[in-house]
Chain A
């Protein structure tokens, strides 16, 4: 049994959450995403990719074709493996070796990562991020990269909705 105070607290918390749900379902990825992310061109040499990671501090960069078509991502894990060759023996497969021989970004990227459309609402993005432990998504519309959205963007947006 709930005491009256507990019941009221829970009731008000539920009301607050449902209000938040409603508010965040009216906000879309396109409203809060980074629309000009730093991108890597598929034909950029690996050396240039390393420079990008050296100069900037993002975890992941989208890889695009010249015409803006989204192809894949390169993240810090790949770069660290390339720089140190320190991968577990289990990963000493020809695929890893092919990556370490690649001269261009397209050879080292992770192809086919999960992407989201710009019209997805904030609640859904938050849910996917929590459920599937994903920290960031590239936002793709008709095969073109239109932005990138990270967990801090989602947190800030939801925090501001609390009023």
Chain B
């Protein structure tokens, strides 16, 4: 009974606050985290059952990112300029995170989790601003898109490194690092082989099965298998789920519209909201106050890391001041992968309440601030260009 009540109240509050968030022009994820914070304060305590459902949520969050969003072809089309700018923005954000941890005397592994949490970007909210202001096709707009595609891949690679280190509970020696890369390559190789020679045939047979929802069930089984297989190989389940999703994305039967919509429904309608509410419930508002200046610096350096990194990267490839500012502001938001990183870090006992809560705050502030700064930069760029042409 208690479990039913908990899930009911989690899903209900997630939907309500997500809707309010969307209505005021913010992404639903912000409302879901807020729902978690409020529930955590008022009614609910995190239980093993909620944490297990949240773990399924994070697996499906990354599975669906691979299944629906990553197209390897897009990477081929991306420009060299975007690669340079991406490396700049990730590197500077990473250094900001690691440097902050080091300065405050955190352990190497703890600082590394902070650095990796600083590195990803989530441009959904800024894409909306670019569309609204008709700036998506501008030079910085299109480079942002290419950069976000690279960012996804690099960030997930970084998460896989840090989550494996977390299992060993130490920074890798060069040998351990090579072993991990080896494992990752073997994992991707086996998954590629399975996708190419086994899964495509399997889905051919599944299509003819009489059992109800056979294709949907098989897609779910592949998601769970790839997550489990990655764990069995000493990698993290979320990396497995992401790779599993990418492998399925080229199998036509697995991507029939009806099946896609059911997978989306399960993920976004039930499992991922539980993950984001769980993140919110894990935030300790008291620890934010107690950590004081450290919390403030995490938020400020988290924002500046991407802004300065993006600005410097765009400048390096020849953008002007405002175009570079647009690029920097556009890649500032942190959401899904950042939250996945810190939840892994917390689950494995590497980071404490203060860092966890502060990074959730950083994520919320970045989603809030980035569109405003982006609008300002675009207006300035327009003024600048019209005064130059006039």
Contacts and interface: CB of A to CB of B under 8 A. Distances in A.
A90 B74 CA distance: 20
Given A95-B74, A101-B137, A134-B258, A89 B27 contact: yes
A159 B278 CA distance: 54
A97 interface: yes
A126 to B, nearest CB: 13
Interface in B74-132: 74, 123-125, 127-128, 130-131
A89 B69 contact: no
Interface in A70-116: 85, 89-90, 92-98, 100-101, 111-115
Nearest to B68: A95
Contacts of B201: none
A112 to B, nearest CB: 5
A111 B70 CA distance: 12
B218 interface: no
Nearest to B70: A95
Nearest to B251: A112
A134 B258 CA distance: 8
A92 B144 CA distance: 13
B142 to A, nearest CB: 6
A112 B67 CA distance: 13
Contact of B145 (A98, A114, A115): A98
Given A101-B136, A101-B142, A95 B71 contact: yes
Contacts of B207: 128, 132
A133 interface: yes
B247 to A, nearest CB: 13
B69 A114 contact: no
Contacts of B149: 94, 98
A128 B203 CA distance: 13
Interface residues of B, number: 35
Chain A: number of interface residues, binned into ranges: 20 to 34
B256 A134 contact: yes
Nearest to B214: A131
Contacts of B352: none
Interface in B144-201: 145, 148-149
A63 to B, nearest CB: 14
Given A101-B145, A134-B256, A93 B69 contact: yes
Contacts of B22: 89
Interface string B25-54: 001100000000000000000000000000
Contacts of A97: 123, 127, 130-131, 136, 145
A115 B28 contact: no
A92 B132 CA distance: 12
B303 interface: no
Contact of A112 (B125, B141, B252): B252
B255 A112 contact: yes
Given A101-B136, A112-B250, A94 B258 contact: no
A133 to B, nearest CB: 4
B268 interface: yes
B253 interface: yes
Contacts of B268: 90
B145 A113 contact: no
From A96, A98, A113, A134, name the one whose CB has the most chain B CB atoms within 10 angstroms. A98
Contact of A100 (B28, B70, B123, B131): B131
B259 interface: yes
A90 to B, nearest CB: 6
Contact of B252 (A90, A93, A95, A115): A115
A94 B82 CA distance: 14
B215 interface: yes
Contacts of B250: 112
Interface in A111-161: 111-115, 128, 132-134
B145 A92 contact: no
B74 A98 contact: yes
B74 A133 contact: no
A92 B215 CA distance: 27
Contacts of B142: 101
Contact of B258 (A92, A101, A132): A132
B211 to A, nearest CB: 11
From A92, A101, A112, name the one whose CB has the most chain B CB atoms within 10 angstroms. A92
Contact of B127 (A94, A111, A113, A114): A94
Given A92-B127, A95-B69, 16 more contacts: A89-B28, A92-B125, A94-B127, A94-B149, A95-B71, A96-B127, A97-B123, A97-B131, A97-B145, A101-B141, A101-B145, A112-B251, A115-B252, A128-B207, A133-B257, A133-B258
The 10 closest A-B pairs by CB, nearest first: A133-B258, A114-B252, A94-B148, A92-B124, A92-B127, A94-B145, A112-B252, A97-B127, A95-B69, A92-B128
13 contacts: A85-B131, A90-B124, A94-B148, A94-B149, A95-B68, A95-B69, A95-B71, A97-B127, A112-B250, A113-B252, A114-B252, A114-B256, A133-B257
